[in-house]
Amino acid sequence: MKFKYNFLERKLWRIKEDYFYEVSEENRFIDNSSYCKVSFKLGENHWITFNSHDEWNYRITIGYTRSLRNGEIAYYEKEIKRELYGSVETVFEFTESDRINSS
């Protein structure tokens, strides 16, 4: 599961083997209550959430939730850090080593 995220524009792309697509704004939810939480609905019981730990989005925890074929829910988590003067976009991937649990 590979993605590209733009920190400033809060846009997300899903990267597949031979193509990628942008997740629509209709499926994007922004909560500015503390720093910033941006969630994208990717499908039924299928979400990705970006939780910023600072107002400049330099450290972000990403949570990814999806349904498994047996009806369980799998949760993945990883933290990404941007360089102070680095790119506003990052490409990241979830693997089984990022999996927290299933329920």
Q: Which pLDDT tens digit goes with each residue over 53-92?
A: 877 667 889 999 998 888 889 999 999 887 777 778 889 9
pLDDT at 82: 77
Cα–Cα distance for residue pair 25/79, rounded to 1 Å? 23
- Provide CB contacts within 8 A for 61, sequence distance 6+: 50, 51, 53, 77, 78, 79
**What's the average model confidence in pLDDT over 19-38?**
88
Count Cβ atoms below 10 Å from residue 40 Cβ, excluding itself: 22
**What's the average model confidence in pLDDT over 44-49?**
92
Evaluate whether 7 touches 88 at the Cβ level (below 8 Å). Answer: yes
pTM metric for this prediction? 0.84
Confidence check: pLDDT of 99 > 60: yes
**Confidence bin at 4 (pLDDT 50/70/90):** very high
Q: Which residues of 1-103 form beta strands (DSSP E)?
A: 2-6, 11-15, 20-22, 28-31, 36-43, 46-52, 59-67, 73-81, 89-93, 99-102
pLDDT, greater one: 33 or 6: 6
With vertex at residue 74, the alpha carbon angle to CA 70 and CA 66, rounded to the nearest 5 degrees, is 85
